[in-house]
Amino acid sequence: MTILGSILSDIREKTPLVHHMTNYVTVNDCANITLCIGASPVMAHAEEEVGEMVALAGSLVLNIGTLDHLQIDRMFVAAKAAEKRGIPIILDPVGAGATSLRTKTAHRMIQELSISVLKGNAGEIGTLAGKQAQVRGVDSGGVTGDPTDITCVLAERLGCTVVMSGPTDIISDGSRTLLCENGHPLMGRISGTGCMAASVIGSCVAVTQNYLSASVTGIAAFGIAGERAASEAAGPGSFKYRLFDNMASVTSDDVDRCARTRSV
């Protein structure tokens, strides 16, 4: 078994708690995909308890998809509590580049917090890297420049793992960069797959300090589930419930055999 497969095995053996502070559009999907990979989700957001809750967790997932100032304050409380305990933080900067609130908040988070994994689409990652990027609502309209270089340079600058999602996912810690080609176009036909990917990565980083391998494992396993769901689905609706089924049934051996990853 490779390190990728062993990470999935560890999740299912240890059932780590993954604390989410996420958006109300996809919160239920994020909880369910976390359960399907074998971890345990919690969605606490009250300022009075986020610090206490994150102390029990293996990772903290921050998602700015439905942002307001109260949520921002609570996210920083949770993140500071996570930092004190060495708990990894995954940031999904949904819509960064679309509005000034989202963009400024995401920039503040990467500047002031110890982010372990930054996961976003090309427009979001490009925006945070200071490149010309297009974001339509929460969807990527592309980025100017080479996406692989942008991901690698941003990872090196921030000292964290950066995941740029797309038809080919790019994962870099600034020293090593890998491409993952698992997935299916139907994953872009339903809401929430980007948010769910962050939850899957959050489950993986909860059981290892190798955040690059954890991110590759999560992206590959989720993509494999998407491929299998698409082969069984009649359309987006049936694809969605089959995505959960297949995420639950993906094995460590599946990840080792079916992950289409390569170094660049």
Residue ranges of domains in the chain, CATH in brackets: 3-263 (3.40.1190.20)
Which residues are known binding-site members for substrate?
A: 43, 192
pLDDT tens, position by position, 169-217: 999 999 999 999 999 999 999 999 999 999 999 999 999 999 999 999 9
| Secondary structure letter of residue 99 according to DSSP | B
- What was the pLDDT predicted at 132? 63
- What was the pLDDT predicted at 141? 56
Which residues are known binding-site members?
A: 43, 119, 165, 192
In whole angstroms, give the CA distance from residue 20 to residue 140.
23
pTM: 0.95
101 Cβ contact list (under 8 Å, min separation 6): 67
Which residues are known binding-site members for ATP?
A: 119, 165
Mean pLDDT, range 90-98, rounded to an integer: 94
Give the tokens for residue 164.
């740029």
Q: Is the separation of the CB atoms in 232 and 184 below 8 Å?
A: no
- What was the pLDDT predicted at 169? 97
| Residues paired with residue 169 on neighbouring β-strands, in sequence order | 180
- What was the pLDDT predicted at 100? 93
Helix (H, G, I), strand (E, B) or coil at 210: coil
**Mean pLDDT estimate for the chain:** 94
- What was the pLDDT predicted at 144? 72
Give the lowest-confidence range in 1-5, 33-37, 68-72, 123-127.
1-5
